[in-house]
Structure 1
Amino acid sequence: MHDFSLYPELDVIEWINTPGPIHMSDLRGRVVVLHAFQMLCPGCVQYGIPQAERIARAFPGKDVAVLGLHTVFEHHDVMTPAALRAFASEYRMRMPIGIDRPAEEGSIPRTMRMLQLRGTPSLVLFDKAGKVRHQHLGQVDDLLVGAEIGALLMEQAPARSTSDKNPIQTPQVQGCEDGTCHTKSDIPRS
């Protein structure tokens, strides 16, 4: 799995469904479930968002924090913060949702690039110390995710380390197929 510094801060421009910004460092001691999605991604709407909401209902908030990350790498002109607020209301999304900061160059937003996400929906699990332990692209069985979260809950939080660094590779243009939206580097070549 990726070896990032502990609890990398999400680079978001705005939070919805929460009274103020959320800082990953404030979640130390909890397992963090980050669901990265786009509101126009069919797989996100069909199974990613409902799964994140089920996780939030299944685990106590004092033990597991569930966050959404709206990370737009396509259709930038229609997936605005106002459209996301309407979408979240229509789909009755309750989890806090951060809006990923757009890239200064290219189409891959900053947090998506930092976490090396390959597309949407993506599910990222951080352990109690803030280290990325599991990362899934596309549909993931609820039992597998529940088992991964349960295993992380049983672990003791290890001491902090400042040596966890990993160079980030920048994916390029994207496409959608098989219910997931991918960056170009993930689309199988014929």
Structure 2
Amino acid sequence: MGQTAFALAPPWQVSQWFNSERALSPADFRGRVIAMHAFQMLCPGCVQLGLPQASRIARLFDPAHVAVVGLHTVFEHHQAMTPVALEAFIHEYQLTFPIGVDTPGESGPIPRTMVAYGMQGTPTLVLIDRQGRLRKQSFGAEDDMRVGSDIAFLLAEPERSAAP
């Protein structure tokens, strides 16, 4: 039985981190499943559905096995969604997982990590397996049961020490 080949998750191009004392990359979480939630603080779907889901994942799964990372990927209303405003937002919503600020695009409004992952908008959920491979990416809110099942599936896979 052949194994499906999955691409390694692109690196995150982040200009600033919150809730982390250092810059992070997918490689820092090898051996754990990563649930990355891309959001904008002025996006109603992100505030009402995506970020609460990310907080539930962080609370319900063992951090030794599942890492939750937020990516503030601003592609509209740039003047309103500054890092200073984001810091207040993180405090008010009591977000405790690491959150990176996606680096602005070189030639347009779409940030670099958003482009690298081919995201359509926010909220976007990205699941990266323990070997650092991109396994799922979905635009829009997803049911908690579905996301929990997807994470459990990735956790149940045999662990390998290195990416192929």
CA distance in 2: counterparts of 1:157 and 1:34, whole angstroms: 20
The AA in structure 1 aligned to 2:53 is: Q
Residue by residue, what CA displacement relative to the aligned partner does 1:62-89 show, whole Å, maximum 9, x if unpaired? 0000000000000011111000000110
- The equivalent residue for 1:124 is 126
The AA in structure 1 aligned to 2:54 is: A
1:17-96 equivalences under 5 Å are 17-96=19-98
Q: Classify the secondary structure of the residue corresponding to 1:13.
A: strand
- The equivalent residue for 1:168 is none
Q: Percent identity?
A: 53
The AA in structure 2 aligned to 1:82 is: V
**Normalising by the residue count of structure 2, what TM-score does the alignment of the two structures yield?**
0.93
CA distance in 2: counterparts of 1:62 and 1:35, whole angstroms: 18
CA distance in 2: counterparts of 1:118 and 1:76, whole angstroms: 17
Q: Which runs of 5+ in 2 are unaligned?
A: none
CA distance in 1: counterparts of 2:107 and 2:158, whole angstroms: 40
Q: Classify the secondary structure of the residue corresponding to 1:119.
A: coil
The AA in structure 1 aligned to 2:56 is: R
Change (3 A) 1:53 1:127: same
The AA in structure 2 aligned to 1:156 is: P
2:102 to 90, 93, 100: 100
CA distance in 1: counterparts of 2:157 and 2:97, whole angstroms: 25
- How far 1:135 moved relative to its partner? 1.0
Q: Classify the secondary structure of the residue corresponding to 2:95.
A: coil
The AA in structure 2 aligned to 1:117 is: M
- Tell me how large the CA RMSD over aligned residues is: 1.6
CA distance in 2: counterparts of 1:160 and 1:140, whole angstroms: 28
The AA in structure 2 aligned to 1:72 is: V
- The equivalent residue for 2:143 is 141
- How far 1:130 moved relative to its partner? 0.8
CA distance in 2: counterparts of 1:146 and 1:77, whole angstroms: 35
Q: Which runs of 5+ in 1 are unaligned?
A: 162-190
CA distance in 1: counterparts of 2:120 and 2:6, whole angstroms: 16
1:7–1:129 contact (8 Å) kept in structure 2: no
Change (3 A) 1:131 1:16: same
- The equivalent residue for 1:160 is 163
1:127–1:157 contact (8 Å) kept in structure 2: no
- How far 1:106 moved relative to its partner? 1.2
CA distance in 1: counterparts of 2:157 and 2:120, whole angstroms: 28
- The equivalent residue for 2:114 is 112
Paired residues in the alignment total 160
Residue by residue, what CA displacement relative to the aligned partner does 1:13-72 show, whole Å, maximum 9, x if unpaired? 000011221122121110000000000000000100000000000101100000000000
